[in-house]
Amino acid sequence: MTLHTASGFLGRLWRRATAAGLGLALVALASGPAQAQLRVDISGVGATQYPIAIADFSGETSGTSVPEVIRADLTRSGQFRLINTAGADLNLQSTVDYATWQARGADYLALGTIAKNGDQYSVSYRLVDNVRKAELDTAVFNGTEAELRRISHRIADRIYEKITGIRGVFSTRIAYVLQSSNGYELQIADADGQNPQVMLRSKQPIISPAWSPDGSKLAYVSFESGKSVIYVQTLATAQRQPVSNYKGNNSAPAWSPNGQQMAIVLSMDGISQIYTINADGSNLRRVMRSPLIDTEPYFTPDGQSLLFTSDRGGSPQIYEVPVAGGEARRITYSGSYNISPRVSPDGQQLVYVTRRNGAFRIASLAFGSGSEQLLTDGPDDQSPSYAPNGMQVLYSSIQNGRSVLAVTSIDGRVRQTLSMLNGKVREPGLGPFHSLIFSCDAFFLKDIK
């Protein structure tokens, strides 16, 4: 969770928690969709746009239009320009007239067929390069009608990777906290904001959701017992266990890259300090000792270091320390307020929240050159996290007085806003590539007394 003033972070969190009522329910992803879908608005375009035509797929139709989902995914990236396919009558076996599609302005063409057998759908697709007059990709996906959106995202991922050379993230999921008048919900949705589902519901605060590296679990902080406790929950079964319930505050879980450890923050000695702990709650170890608050740890991709926020220098700044312990090194120097560090998947960049002229904005820092870039305009942008391919940053924002989730490209040129009609959305995080949650179709509710 982010902090507007490092010294006041834990105090505000505790007051908010104890003011809330009791009550908690667990929902294993599929106990029914959430009340409101997220709406996506897009602004800006990428420096390079690939012209592509996505033809209507022939064959069976359903409530989900596979080509429409693919078109929407590619448009959201800001890296593709859609070419009109009006009048095209194509199926998977069609002979592609490369020159005609080039004349229409399409360097690439995707086409396909949907067949139905009982309650199962088979979606076959092809991707061709009209310039090189070559086939780039072909694939077949099978699933129920309810899985057609998932299949569409997988096809969009393949198209994105075949053309850009970078793995797509349309099949990933977002975890975030929704706060409303009824309490708090930990929700998971598709990367485009659709299909939101409730994982955890409580009258008390839920904060700091963190995906495990394989996408099968979420760690988070819950105040259901009247104090902060860190839980790890398996998404496919809803089974969970408390992994940190020490005296004082237990907060800010962050997974190690191999999923075997977490970095956490404890105040059991009177001040917030960083520890590591095994994912099952064993082997607690203090990383270092500091006379002031250390919080918001995050592992580097090699698992050897932690980035964290500390006010040890007189104002909140970002530091790095070896996981094994040792001297901390200051990372951020621009401005007097920099918090919530997240490292890019390739380890080359850092994103964080910075305060400039009274506005909280998302900034990026290149480790090699030390150059900083402001990616957002504020006034209240928080909780940044990288997409698993490193091409986008997800964050929460207040825009025109409304609480939204937002996405920016790493160069700040393309922005998406995922807004909800009711409630406040906080602390978003994109899951890993093709997270295991996709195979979860179990529906049940568990009440915690």
Out of 119, 149, 164, a domain closes at 164
User: pTM for the complete prediction?
Assistant: 0.87
Same domain, 314 and 221: yes
- pLDDT for position 25: 56
For 312-346, give one letter per residue: b (16+ CB within 10 A) or e: beeebbbbbbebeeeebeebbeebebbbbbbbbbe
Q: Which residue has the higher pLDDT, 192 or 105?
A: 105
> Lowest-pLDDT range, 7-16, 99-108, 247-256, 417-426?
7-16
Asked if the structure places residue 1 within a domain, the reply is no
> Does 320 score more than 90 pLDDT?
yes
Phi, psi (deg, nearest 5) at residue 66: -55, -50
Which of the listed ranges 39-48, 186-195, 322-331 does the model predict with the highest average pLDDT?
A: 322-331
- pLDDT for position 181: 87
Same domain, 140 and 212: no
Out of 164, 194, 225, a domain closes at 164
Same domain, 219 and 248: yes
* DSSP H or E segment with residue 11: helix 9-19
- pLDDT for position 399: 86
> Does 190 score more than 60 pLDDT?
yes
Question: Which range of residues forms the domain containing residue 397?
Answer: 6-38+171-448
> Does 160 score more than 60 pLDDT?
yes
> Does 9 score more than 60 pLDDT?
no
Half-sphere exposure of 243 (CA within 13 A, CB side): 33
- pLDDT for position 443: 29
The mean pLDDT of the chain is: 87
Asked if the structure places residue 69 within a domain, the reply is yes
pLDDT band at 266 (very low <50, low <70, confident <90, very high): very high
Q: Which residue has the higher pLDDT, 187 or 28?
A: 187
- CATH number of the CATH domain containing 77: 3.40.50.10070
328 and 288 in contact (C-beta within 8 Å)? yes
Calculate mean pLDDT across residues 331-356.
96
Out of 112, 135, 164, a domain closes at 164
Domains in the chain: how many in total? 2
Positive or negative, the Cα torsion across 350, 414, 151, 175? positive
Phi, psi (deg, nearest 5) at residue 282: -95, 170
Calculate mean pLDDT across residues 110-136.
95
312 and 290 in contact (C-beta within 8 Å)? yes
In tens, the pLDDT along 362-414 reads 999 999 999 999 999 999 999 999 999 999 999 999 988 888 889 999 999 88
- pLDDT for position 7: 37
Same domain, 71 and 145: yes
Same domain, 77 and 153: yes
> Lowest-pLDDT range, 41-45, 203-207, 361-365, 391-395?
41-45
Parallel/antiparallel/unpaired status of strands 108-117 and 50-54:
parallel
Phi, psi (deg, nearest 5) at residue 311: -105, 25
